[in-house]
Structure 1
Amino acid sequence: MLNQLRPVLVLGVALTLITGLAYPLAMTSLAGMIFPAKAAGSLIERNGTVVGSALIGQSFTSDRYFHDRPSATTAPDPADSSKTVPAPYNAANSMGSNLGPTSAALRDRVKEDLATLRAERPGAEIPRAEIPADLVTTSGSGLDPDISPEAALFQVPRVAKARGLTEDQVRALIAAHTDGRLLGILGEARVNVMALNLALDAQTGR
């Protein structure tokens, strides 16, 4: 019996050490040497202080900044741990809203967001079709750090007014921080919101 179990136990331990320890350590070390910034979390620094990650969105609310797309992530309610409360861009709880097209809560939230976006241009009639979808819809992860160039351009009048810049100056910043499709064919063009906002701060001295 022992002679039959020994090979199984030895193989199990060996595979555990190889695939569960040696391989992950080797790949982590290799990634750290070849792609040190990405392996460390694609952290973004300003004046030597880490202010975020290029991979995770943040909640920008000031008119002086471009805003990310909505996030549906949540966190435990401090008052009742059996419940949750909204916690946008909570990296510890990546998730979508799971609300369907017949959800009244989803409909009300989208209507509120549309009203907020239209209020950025008082006196202008903005059809719903002209508002980029990623400014009113959440993603599956709730952590998207990027928005579409169209979503960034929609916010130009508000940001330019708040910053005392011309709209052409702000559009130039967007163009400079727009990444095209990977290899020209994969994905869509995108703008990293944090990188764009940091560029705004650098240009205007906050």
Structure 2
Amino acid sequence: MKKYIIPSLRLTLVLIVLLCIIYPVTISLAGKFAKGGGGGEKLIKNGKTVGYALLGQSFSKPQYFWGRPSAANYNAAGSAGSNKGPTNRDYLKDVQSRIDTLLKYNPGLKTAEIPADLVTASGSGLDPNISEQAAAIQIARVAKARKTSPEKVKQLVAINTNKPFLGLFGPSSVNVLKLNLALDNL
């Protein structure tokens, strides 16, 4: 019995030191080299923190780009999806309501042109990005509401578009909060 207990205790101690001390310290130090020093990339306007680059926020005014809907009401503490499937009547009503809102505020837009990311919530409910297509269909509305040219707004979208990693991995995306802050600085 002693033959099995002592190696088991040694292994337990080694794993405790490795997983409870060395690993967390290593990850914490690595985070210090990331944007925001491990606390998230804060976005500041007029000396005040207005949000974090990796957390979605609600924008509903016509002069702003609208982000992805949130099943968690953009509450980072309650991050979650809705768990409603594509045959759930409540889910279908929510999606149709979002489609109707987009069609109302974006005249000339057709239902077939609406990308899924503008009418369906992300898994976390906190997705800060939209697709390039989702940004493109909102340019006319935002330009009209801000009384500026669509070309200026389109240029801001291009500047704030994140290209795929190494040009290969993942789709292009636009961070909604960063784009809306850039619009406010026009």
Q: TM-score, normalised by structure 2?
A: 0.91
Write out per-residue CA displacement over residues 117-137 of structure 1, whole angstroms, 9 at most, x where no aligned residue.
Answer: 111134x3x332111221111
Residue 185 of structure 2 aligns to a residue in which SS?
helix
Which amino acid counterpart does residue 47 of structure 2 have in structure 1?
Answer: G
Q: Quote the offset at 1:103 in angstroms.
A: 1.0
Q: Quote the offset at 1:44 in angstroms.
A: 1.5
* 2:130 matches 1:147: yes
Q: Quote the offset at 1:40 in angstroms.
A: 1.9
- C-alpha contact 2:62 2:105 (8 A) present in aligned 1: no
Partner of 1:37: 36
Q: Quote the offset at 1:153 in angstroms.
A: 1.3
Partner of 1:79: none
Aligned length: 186
Which amino acid counterpart does residue 76 of structure 2 have in structure 1?
Answer: A
Partner of 1:72: 71
Partner of 1:91: 76
* 2:62 matches 1:63: yes
Q: Quote the offset at 1:36 in angstroms.
A: 4.7
Write out per-residue CA displacement over residues 146-168 of structure 1, whole angstroms, 9 at most, x where no aligned residue.
Answer: 00111111111221122111111
Partner of 1:131: 114
* 2:85 matches 1:100: yes
1:4–1:129 CA distance, 2 compared to 1 (3 A): closer
Which amino acid counterpart does residue 9 of structure 2 have in structure 1?
Answer: L
Gaps of 5+ in 1: 74-87
Partner of 2:14: 14
Q: TM-score, normalised by structure 1?
A: 0.83
CA RMSD of aligned residues (A): 1.8
1:119–1:19 CA distance, 2 compared to 1 (3 A): same
Gaps of 5+ in 2: none
Distance 2:35 2:129 in 1: 22
Write out per-residue CA displacement over residues 145-197 of structure 1, whole angstroms, 9 at most, x where no aligned residue.
Answer: 00011111111122112211111111111011111111111000000000000
